[in-house]
Amino acid sequence: MSKKNIFAPSRGFTLIEMLIVIIILGLLASLVAPKMFGKVDKARIKTAKAQIELLSAAIDSFRLDMGRFPSSLEELRQCNDPKWDGPYLPKEIPLDPWNHPYVYKYPGEHGPYDIICYGADGKPGGDGNDKDIVSWK
């Protein structure tokens, strides 16, 4: 039977060593996080542009079948006209990447119709993430 020396150094980490590791991880996260959030914002803008293209294609298909543009985006999902050959969207009308509804204007100011995503703030105008994403550009 051997005796253990209670004063012998242990093999675990000290509190100071743990704090240093946590500080280093925090510094690394502060350098990497802004770059990653920038990529998320770019992905949302690309998603909004792709969804506007999808809505535009559905509106154009609706016009070919019906001989007119829809008065609202809801007509892409259901309509009581006998010429209607929809639904023109496979799923429900999507919200923009910031969970706001797309704005559909018929007649449009920049073409037969306008589709607008107001960006992160959900209000007209703005810069950066708040910039409007539109169907005519």
77-107: pLDDT as tens digits = 988 888 888 899 988 999 999 999 999 999 9
Q: How far is the C-alpha of 132 from the C-alpha of 116, rounded, in Å? A: 7
Residues 6+ positions from 136 with CB-CB distance below 8 Å: 108, 110, 111, 114
User: Residue 49, class by beta-carbon neighbours within 10 Å (0-12 exposed, 13-18 middle, 19+ buried)?
Assistant: middle
The yes-or-no verdict on residue 1 having pLDDT over 60 is no
User: Is the separation of the CB atoms in 64 and 86 below 8 Å?
Assistant: no
In the prediction, which pLDDT does 101 show? Answer: 96
Residues 6+ positions from 124 with CB-CB distance below 8 Å: 116, 118, 132
Would you call 117 helix, strand, or coil by DSSP? Answer: strand
In the prediction, which pLDDT does 5 show? Answer: 62
Torsion angles phi and psi, residue 116, rounded to 5: -130, 135
Q: How far is the C-alpha of 13 from the C-alpha of 33, rounded, in Å? A: 28
Q: Domains in the chain, please, with CATH?
A: 15-134 (3.30.700.10)
Residues 6+ positions from 97 with CB-CB distance below 8 Å: 43, 44, 45, 47, 48, 51
Confirm whether pTM is higher than 0.75: no
31-63: pLDDT as tens digits = 777 777 767 888 899 999 999 999 999 999 999
Residues 6+ positions from 85 with CB-CB distance below 8 Å: 65
